[in-house]
Amino acid sequence: MKQLHEQAHLNGRPLKPESLMMSYGFKPEWSEGAIKCPIFQTSTFVFNSAEEGKAFFELAYGLRQPAPEEEMGLIYSRLNNPSLEILEDRLTLWDGAEDAASFASGMAAISTSLLALLKPGDVVLHSEPVYGGSDFFLKQVLPRFGITAEGFDLHTTPEQLQERAAALGEKLAVLFVETPANPTNRLFDLQACAAAARRGGTAQRPCRVLVDNTFLGPVFQHPLRHGADLVIYSATKFLGGHSDLIAGAVLGSKALMKEVRAMRTFMGTMCDPNTGWMLMRSLETLKLRMERAAQSARVIADWLREHAQVTRTYYLGHLQDDPAQQAIFEQQCLSAGSMISFDIAGGEAEAFQFLNSLKLIKLAVSLGGTESLAEHPASMTHSDIEPATQREMGITASMVRLSIGVEDAHDLIADLDQAFNQVQQQAVAPVAALHA
Ligand SMILES: *Cc1c(COP(=O)(O)O)cnc(C)c1O
């Protein structure tokens, strides 16, 4: 621990996460001078003695308190592995968290965290909409274990949320928030959520605030500083950032992470060493990638807003007409990020023609990678939501969602422009044919 603290400072100056991503938690002398941490591709670890094995297990199973400076030794890769421990140490830096745990996927991170904190009879209050997998887990899986999920949306005022939390009382165990919401980029006020959570739960078992921070990532939003107890990532998105792996992460206080980690051990939902190593490589460029993509997104969003075939943009840099949303943005977001949705003039047909005409931007779900992606939320990522509910959530048939990558912004605009032209030509063509 002391060693880690020393590595994070230079003559007493705390170093920025981006300065530490190449070295933190690893020493070349541990591995033949290798500048990069090796992949510890191993399932189990050899004990120096039976006594050492016993001591490690005592700590792993909490049979005794650790001695001063005693840390848990390596036992078996479902419990711990150096490739994951170094990754997890690095992950803590961005969010200023005490502890982090890596997972096999974002869904593994979400489901394991929820199961670690919930028991039959509990209620989860959650923002709506949430990611489709989370939605299914909350509404279809948890009820089978006697746990109820109740949604709240943007029309719920902070006072109403507090009243609902107070009415649920000790049954309220978790408040789960995803902000900005996908695909509309609507913001939920994290401090208001934390205040509501304090109205539920009990002194012995407080209601925990879990925040899915995948969309702005650990560079542009730090929920732990706004009252969250756990921050969760689909590391598949910005953290991985190259559309080549599936992983997840959870961060929080040492005490709470102990519960999450224990559930991870028993469910076996940890990340594998190779993916852990890939994530470490990705973290070296995390800030560069996110800032660059956000810069391009601003240029592209502003261009889209002025386009004759765009009826509306959903972008965190375009909240000027909505003072309440703008206030939340200023309070908790550090950038508008790189996710843009927009409504194309027309409906599903125009949206599909547009998507089918893109050349440089790929038609795929997922987000946060180096390449720009486009998709149609109503028929793809959010297709299992009833049309009426989709409308309530503001998801329209004409909505296209863009995840902006690191390509040249003007190349991306050229692609969007030619796709808009294709849509317009196809709209004109049938009329021309009629008159022929
Ligand atoms: C993708 C995503 C998830 C699920 O993550 P996986 O890594 O695909 O399991 C959860 N939440 C949000 C907001 C996501 O975008």
248 and 110 Cβ atoms separated by less than 8 Å: yes
> Which of 74-83, 219-228, 304-313, 389-398 has the least mean pLDDT?
389-398
Q: Looking at residues 224-251, what average pLDDT do you find?
A: 98
Residue 433 has pLDDT above 80, yes or no: no
For residues 401-411, give the mean pLDDT. Answer: 98
Mean pLDDT of 232-244: 98
The pLDDT value recorded for residue 356 is: 98
Minimal-distance CA residue to ligand 1 atom 1: 234
Q: At what angle do helices 106-117 and 254-267 cross, to 10 degrees?
A: 110
Q: What is the mean pLDDT of residues 123-129?
A: 95
% of the chain at pLDDT higher than 90: 88
> 270: which DSSP letter?
B
Give me the phi and psi of 342, to 5 degrees please. -150, 155
Could you give the CA distance from residue 398 to residue 36 in angstroms, rounded to a whole number?
Answer: 47
Q: Mark out the alpha helices in 96-204 (DSSP H runs).
A: 106-117, 132-136, 158-168, 190-197
So what's the pLDDT on residue 1? 55
- Atom 6 of ligand 1 has which residue's CA nearest to it? 106
Which ligand 1 atom lies nearest to the CA of residue 130?
13
Global pTM reads 0.95
- Which residue has the CA at smallest separation from atom 2 of ligand 1? 234
pLDDT grade for 93, boundaries at 50, 70 and 90: very high
**What number is the average pLDDT over the span 112-130?**
97
422 Cα: distance to centroid of ligand 1 (angstroms): 32
The dihedral built from the CA positions of residue 391, 394, 398 and 399, taken in this order, carries a sign that is negative
CA of 34 to the centre of ligand 1 (A): 33
Counting atoms of ligand 1 from 1, which one is nearest the CA of 133? 4
pLDDT computed for residue 431 by the predictor: 56
Could you tell which of 137, 236, 245, 272 is best to mutate to test the pocket of ligand 1, judged by most ligand atoms within 8 Å of the CB? 236
Q: Please, are residues 159 and 184 in contact by the beta-carbon 8 Å criterion?
A: no
Pocket of ligand 1 (CB under 6 A): 105-107, 131, 133-134, 178, 182, 212, 214-215, 234, 236-237, 246, 248
Q: What is the mean pLDDT of residues 366-387?
A: 94
How far, in Å, from the CA of 137 to the mean position of ligand 1? 12
136-147 average pLDDT score? 97
Which one has a higher pLDDT value, 105 or 383?
105
Domains in the chain and their CATH numbers?
77-283 (3.40.640.10), 286-434 (3.90.1150.10)
Q: What pLDDT sits at residue 2?
A: 62
Ligand 1 centroid to Cα of residue 111, in Å, is: 11
Three-state secondary structure call for residue 144: helix
Give the distance (Å) from ligand 1 centre to CA of residue 317: 23
Ligand 1 centroid–CA 209 distance in Å is 18
Whether the pLDDT of residue 353 is over 80: the answer is: yes
Tell me what pLDDT residue 225 has. 98
185: pLDDT confidence band, cut at 50, 70 and 90?
Answer: very high
Is residue 5 scored above 90 in pLDDT? Answer: no
Instruction: Take atom 7 of ligand 1 and give the residue whose Cα is closest.
Output: 106
| Range name among 30-34, 393-397, 426-430 with the lowest pLDDT average | 426-430
